[in-house]
A = this chain, B = another copy of it.
């Protein structure tokens, strides 16, 4: 029975990959009949690949060294699974990036034929990332589980995935913002040329950055949540229900994959229809099928519903957090309008209003996470919490497809602009891009919510594995751990904000240099050296993620050895709590500032060129590293620290 189920799970994983491959082939077959578009897409593609190659060149030795260390200290299964986990994440990221950076130009060209063609192309491009993540995730776990037959031995699979995610998220976040700030500040502000202007040397790095940060970074983030939640559930499930408890999370994941495949077929838009409705329909269909499937699977496997309610609480909270994120960060709602209005009294009040909104926006997500925790625990204990996380992440295939669609549409807009495609085309890509901003909010909410639940599941698995009877806050060592853990997200955020600043400065200097030294660059006769800018972002991203990375990996080790397993539990608790708060705060404040600026640009409170707009731009600039670097990096920090603790737990017992 179990074997049969695992076989079906495996086939589902292969189906996901097959789906991704078919999408890729169909994208590849689409001919772009415009040399400039092809060329630009190709340059962006090359820049993104250059980043990935250099990142992976660093990561491979890292994976091997840590893998060998784990092998020696913990055991062969741990070392091997760690390396496989890292490779799987890298593979998923690679596949997604290759296709995403190929489909941006095709989306731009498809837009010449109409909305539906462009939407289909961009969404197909995104779905390769979505399906690769879930397919490779499930198959990788299955593979390791088949080899070692004990989920507690393969927790390091998730640690490998987390390591890659750290580099992808932190490095990607630094990359994208350095390029963005450099391109904007020198190009738009100093030289007065429009956004996405080909004369700007940093424009390619900027477009590459969208892929690196929002596709590779987000993909690695969700891959990490996905596999960690499944493995944590398997580990706890083994103790509670035996092998049935191990298989159930995998079956849930399989149901999620099938739901996502079904959901994608609903992403279509007729002439005059709304692309945003199409994406939403796809998401809801996926969620609906998932809930129905979870019901049947739970009934069939357990002959009762308790676990079903745990799973539903996870799915529900995942969706609701996305909506709450939208309410606090979209220009359609009061919070963003309030920030926009505060631009009347200058940049300081814009900042204060945004900070207040960001801080307030932690309340409902926290209540939702608490509700999911209590509900799932009430019905099925700690296993229920882990299954809630799996449930929330089961729709990753669909959610990530929708999310990765955004940067592709954004890139398509840039390419359309740079290759002077007709205005109607730009209109279509603009529309697709605008929808991408909304879906990004949903994706970010899911990423944070799932990071929180996954970290809680890992925490539970950790406590379980070190066989602690209690992680007792009365013990001052635990309280000290809690304080240290609570401090780390602040230190981590401070470092990533400063890293962006340093990298952006280097970029600014380079762009200024090119404007000065390359003859004819402003007239369009001299060719900017795009590669140099790509190089600066790449080098900065790789350099700047070393210390934060070490901090994340070593803190649990040091605290575990010096203060013991209980204090390490405190460290995790503290880091999860402040990490989640800061992540929500920074992501939402950043998103709200961004959209407050856009709201003013739409003509409210004076529109472009007014002091109000200038004040809103200050907010947006502050928000950029908040929402695209520091905030998302915290998702990784809390999961990585938890999984490091879980994997190394045997050393602290």
Contact = CB atoms under 8 A, between A and B. Distances in A.
Given A479-B373, A483-B370, A348 B474 contact: no
A487 B348 contact: no
Contact of A487 (B349, B353, B366): B366
B580 A353 contact: no
Nearest to A476: B377
A363 interface: yes
B470 A463 contact: no
Contacts of A472: 470-473
Interface in A462-495: 463, 468, 470-474, 476-480, 482-487, 490-491, 493-495
Interface stretch (A42-50, A64-72, A569-577): A569-577
A309 interface: no
Interface in A347-364: 347-349, 351-353, 355-360, 362-363
A477 B468 CA distance: 17
Contacts of A483: 366, 369-370, 373, 577, 580
Q: Which of A374, A486, A493, A500 lies at the interface centre, i.e. has the most chain B CB atoms within 10 A of its CB?
A: A486
A380 B577 CA distance: 30
Interface string A426-470: 000000000000000000000000000000100110010000101
Nearest to A472: B470
A501 interface: yes
Interface in A226-285: none
Interface stretch (A13-21, A145-153, A617-625): A617-625
Contacts of A477: 374
Contact of A468 (B345, B474, B490): B474
Interface string A541-575: 00000000000000000000000000001100110
A483 B482 CA distance: 12
A398 to B, nearest CB: 28
A352 B622 contact: yes
Contact of A471 (B353, B474, B569): B474
A585 interface: yes
A346 B620 CA distance: 13
Contacts of A578: 486, 577-578, 581
Nearest to A578: B578
A121 interface: no
A493 B493 CA distance: 19
A315 interface: no
Nearest to A462: B474
B362 A487 contact: yes
Given A352-B497, A470-B473, 14 more contacts: A351-B622, A352-B621, A355-B494, A356-B501, A358-B494, A369-B483, A370-B480, A373-B483, A374-B476, A470-B474, A473-B478, A473-B569, A490-B585, A574-B577
15 contacts: A347-B348, A353-B501, A355-B494, A356-B493, A358-B494, A359-B494, A367-B484, A456-B476, A471-B473, A473-B473, A483-B577, A486-B577, A487-B581, A490-B585, A578-B581
